[in-house]
Structures are given as C-alpha cells and as structure tokens.
A and B are shown apart, each in its own frame.
Chain A
Amino acid sequence: MSKLLNNIFFQSIFLMSLLLVVGIFIPNWLVFVITKAIAYGLVGLGIITLMRGGLVSFGQGFVFGIGGYTAGLLGTQAGLTDAILLLFISFLFTGLVGLIIAPLLARYRDIFFAMLSLAFSMVLYGILIKIDAIGGSDGFVLPESTYFGIKPSPEYADYILYVVSIIMTGFVSIAIKYYYDSTPGLIALAVRENELRVEYLGSSAFNVTVLNFTIAAGLGGMGGALNGIALGHIDPEFTYWTTSGEFVFISILAGYLSVPAVFLAALLLELVRSFSGRYFPDTWQLILGVFLILSIIFIPSGVGSFFKNFFDKLKNK
C-alpha cells in the first residue's frame, strides 16, 4: 500500500480525480480562476525546469503569446476549434520555436540569458501590436471551443475546459516529474551547481539548457493556448514584460523542488489578483509585491520545499 502511495502516477491520478470532483461543486468563477491558474502554472513549470538548470527566463511571455496566437489563429483562420487539439498543437509548435531559438539563448547565462529572453518577448510584442490583420493592440476573439466535435452548452463550457486542462496538465506534469527524476533531469541539477564539472564528467551543459528551454517553451505555449481559450480572447498583452514577470513570481513562490507547488503558487497569484482587483483595484500590485517579499523572506526555497518535505517523510515511513 505504501508503495502505491509513493507512486507518482497514483498520486497524480488521485489528485486529478479529486480536482475533477471538486470542480463540480465549486462556483463557476472559481472554476475559471483555477483554469487560468493552470495556464499560468504551465508556464511556471517551464520556468522551474529552467531554474533547475540554473537559469531564469524573464521573457516567457514570448512562448505564452505564441501559444495563445497559435490557438487563436488556428481557430479563426483554419476553423480548428477542438480545444484538446489546439492545446496539443500549441505545445508542439511552441516547443519547436523554442528548439530553434534555444541554441542562441543557451550560449548565455545569468542576467544575460534572462534579458535576452525578455528581448525576444518584447520584439514579439512590438510586432503583434503593429499587425492590424490580427487585431493589433486589441487582439481578437477566439471561436468557441469544441471537444471531439461537440460544442458544450455555455453553462458547462467552463467546467469542460477545466476538466480538459486538469487531465492534460496532469499527464504533462507526470511526464515532467519523470524527467526531473531521470538521469538527464539529475544532470540538469548538476549544471546548476557546477557547469565546468559537468563538462569534465563528459556531459554537455549546453545540450541540457537547450532541452530545458525547449520543454519550457512547449509548456509556455500550452499555457498560452489554454489561457486564450479560457478567456476567449488573445491580445499582445500575453507577451508583455509584466506578464512575464507574473510567471517569474509564480516560479519564485513555488521554488524548483516540486511540480504541484507551481500550480499552487499560480492559484495563489490568481486569487490574490482576483480579490485584490475587486477590493483594492488600484493597489493590487502593491499587495502582490508585499506577498512576494514575505514569501522570499520566509520561504526562500518556495512552497515546493513544504511539498518535498511532506513526500520525503511519506517515503521514509
């Protein structure tokens, strides 16, 4: 029994089932908030994948935007409205874009990597606001999503998307966790600590960075597509630097020690944003900032450290 409890796959299926059931009983606005948190969490998961290799991207809005626009343009221009397909295609396409630019980014470290990634997002933002054919700065509306050819009635649309996002994200997260625990995942952690030694042991830090960036790009694209589908709208704000900053916020709050912590951190961000936006419309960034300061001071390893300790204790039982 304890072996089953320690199994990542079993844990994930249990958590996914629980969330699916919970989704039936919670109000629609919360279903929407959780779906958005999952979208942001996917991007955050990409950033912590990079963080494990010692890098932080300040420009994940780049892939978030590409993912969103991919889903949006496929919907409006190609008539493809199946949400599952759109998420999957956005994941693959953005991953491919990531793979193309990763060799350039992987040559840089620290602040240079962060700023170069930010530069990519700002270039894309600048291009998007100038292209009137795709709505310029206003963006455009996405067609309503279908699922295996069926369009759900509006009252269930949010929940159906919630279900799809939970299931797809759940399986993606399991795959990522398996990657973290694999030999290449472990080497990525070693790159973070001592790149020179990794090279002298016969592995390529460059290749590790390329792989991690490609994964992060795919996840970011999937998050962007999910966010676009959830909102029913896409605009250049997806690629703006403040959006990228929110992803960094999530990653710092989560830390790089746990996969579920990223989604919890994203949910906290969404809740703080929702409540602060409602009750303190002009000062919600202030609250967010204070929240971030407190979390850096009191939980520098992120909320993921709590998860890790919990699961380590479970393993040792």
Chain B
Amino acid sequence: MSNNDDLLRAENINKSFGAVVAAKDINVGIKKGERVSLIGSNGAGKTTFMNMVTGYLKPDTGSIFLKNENITSLNPRVITQKGISRSFQIPQIFEPMSTWENLLVALGTSQKNHSYFKNARSKENADYIDEMLSRFSLNEFAHRQVSELPGGVRKLLDIAMALVRKPDILLLDEPTSGVGAEEKYPLMDTIAKALSAEDLTVIFVEHDMDIVQNYSERVIAFYQGEIIADDNCEKVLKDKNVQEYVTGKTQIKAK
C-alpha cells in the first residue's frame, strides 16, 4: 500500500491495450533506499508499470507521484531530470562509441549549463568517468567500441549510464536477461557493489527467483496486470498465488 512518506507512489493505476489489461488498480508505494524486485510471467504488467513510472506510457486512470509530486503526465526526459533513471532489457547504448564515450554522453546529459566551447573531455569529466568505470569493473573495456562488447558488459554499461545522473530511483529492466547462467551472479554482485555506494532506491524486473531472493528485500508480484503479492521475499515467494501463477511452485534456494 502507499502513503505520503513514500518516495514513489502509484495510486489507482489502470492501463489497457485494447482488450488486454496491463495494469489494474495498482496501488503501491516504495520508500527511499528499498531494493524491490518486480516479478511475474510475461505479460503480467511489470514492464508496463515500469514504462508508466518512467513516462513512456501514460496510465488510462490514476496518478504516479515522486516525492509527492505528480509526475503522471511528464515525459521520460523530465522524469529522468526529476530523479528516476532506468536501464533497459536490451541495453540502449551508443554503438559506434567506446564505453568511455558512452559514459561521457551520460555525464554530459546530467550536467546543467553546458558550455558550447568547453571540451567535453575535460579532466574533471574524465576523472568521474574513470571512477564509474572502476565501480562497474569496466576499466578494461574503456576504449573498446561497445558494439564489440559481450552481453554482460553491455548490461553493466547500460546501468552505469543510468547511474551517472545520481538518481533517487534506479529502475533495472531484467538486468540478467540474455546473460549466461554462470555470469548472472558475478554480474549482479558487480551491480550490487556499484550501487552500494549510492543512497539509492532500486526497483528491478527479474525472472530468476534466485536472483530475486538474493538481491531484493521486497518483492511485488504481478499477474494479469494486478499486484497479487507485495511483501518481503520469503513471504511473497511462499505465497500460494505467487507459486501458482508466477514461480510455478519451484523450490527457491538461497545462494
């Protein structure tokens, strides 16, 4: 449920695509510093929720508040400026550029009062980018064109770019999708370590229940556009509805 202390609050959100209900009476509040995972089968409404929070989709009814400010009608750019950044299931990075240049663009977009005659590759910017590269263990890929990078590294870069702005809330859309099983934990460890330095609220969509259990404190389960469970990991993953409609009654083991 939601209240005015929440950093992010969704109230009575409904969204349909024709006959398909993607969000039905969504009421949820997320507090500062929480690590929340959104789970649900494909088409359950997780990504629709994420897209509405980031302004890509507008709800048919209902409102979304960030720090008690109604952001429902704002576009993704303004919402990003207000403090919600996101990464993507398929990394949205600038292919012909290097890792370093991608981060430089991300840094540039986060800066106000740009000078049109000051070189973007200033020492100040370079130092910050080098720090980000270290935090995300990307140093060895710094000057490689991103189109040549492996999937996990592209994911890390995508997340690092979203983090450059120092948002209040970071949304991660399936951070481990498309990554080999043996790479998932190292990738999530790197992400968790990189994010630990920030006073950040993290919401991530994830299908891997081991990852969910090990990297989130709270789980929100979606089914056919509705929230069917919202509590700590243990309770949600033991919930009968969640086991029936989301996890398929699989036994979840801790790492």
Contacts and interface: CB of A to CB of B under 8 A. Distances in A.
Asked if A pairs with B, the answer is yes
Interface of A: 175, 178-179, 181-187, 189-190, 193-194, 196-204
A194 B94 contact: yes
Contact of A201 (B106, B116, B117, B121): B106
Given A190-B105, A193-B97, A200 B92 contact: yes
A214 to B, nearest CB: 12
Given A194-B92, A202-B81, A184 B110 contact: no
B111 interface: yes
A185 B101 CA distance: 12
Nearest to B122: A183
A184 B121 CA distance: 12
A182 B109 contact: no
A199 B75 contact: yes
A175 B80 CA distance: 31
B114 interface: yes
A182 B75 contact: no
Contact of A183 (B77, B81, B97, B120): B120
26 contacts: A178-B116, A181-B120, A181-B121, A186-B105, A186-B108, A186-B120, A187-B105, A189-B94, A190-B94, A190-B97, A190-B105, A193-B95, A193-B96, A194-B92, A197-B93, A197-B94, A198-B109, A199-B76, A200-B76, A200-B162, A201-B110, A201-B161, A201-B162, A201-B164, A201-B165, A202-B109
B80 A182 contact: no
B148 to A, nearest CB: 15
B196 interface: no
Given A198-B109, A203-B77, A182 B114 contact: yes
Interface string B102-126: 0011101111001111111100000
B213 interface: no
Contacts, number: 89
Contacts of B85: 200-201
B86 A182 contact: no
B98 interface: no
Contacts of B114: 182-184
A196 B101 CA distance: 17
Interface in B14-58: 54
Contacts of A194: 92-95
Interface string B147-175: 00000000000000110110000000000
A182 B115 CA distance: 7
A201 B170 CA distance: 12
A179 B117 contact: yes
A186 B111 CA distance: 13
Interface in B197-223: none
Contacts of A202: 77, 80-81, 109-110, 165
Q: Which of A182, A197, A198, A200 has the most CB of B within 10 A?
A: A200
Interface of B: 54, 75-77, 80-81, 85-86, 92-97, 101, 104-106, 108-111, 114-121, 161-162, 164-165
Contacts of B161: 197, 201
A183 B164 CA distance: 15
A201 B54 CA distance: 11
A182 B120 contact: yes
A81 B220 CA distance: 73
Contacts of B110: 201-202
A54 B183 CA distance: 36
A75 to B, nearest CB: 32
A204 B105 contact: no
B12 to A, nearest CB: 26
Contact of B92 (A182, A197, A203): A197
B119 A201 contact: no
A182 B97 contact: no
A201 B80 contact: yes
A185 B97 contact: no
A185 B109 CA distance: 11
Nearest to A206: B77
Contacts of A179: 116-117
B56 to A, nearest CB: 8
A184 B77 contact: no
Q: Which of B75, B115, B120, B165 has the most CB of A within 10 A?
A: B120
A178 B116 CA distance: 7
A182 B109 CA distance: 12
B54 A200 contact: yes
B78 to A, nearest CB: 8
A186 B116 CA distance: 10
Q: Which of B111, B114, B161 has the most CB of A within 10 A?
A: B114
A221 B71 CA distance: 42
A25 to B, nearest CB: 35
A10 to B, nearest CB: 15
B134 to A, nearest CB: 21
Contacts of B108: 183-184, 186-187, 203
Q: Which 3 A-B pairs have the closest CB atoms?
A: A183-B108, A201-B109, A197-B92
Given A186-B101, A187-B108, A197-B92, 13 more contacts: A179-B116, A182-B115, A184-B108, A186-B104, A186-B120, A187-B105, A197-B93, A200-B54, A200-B80, A201-B85, A201-B110, A202-B80, A202-B110
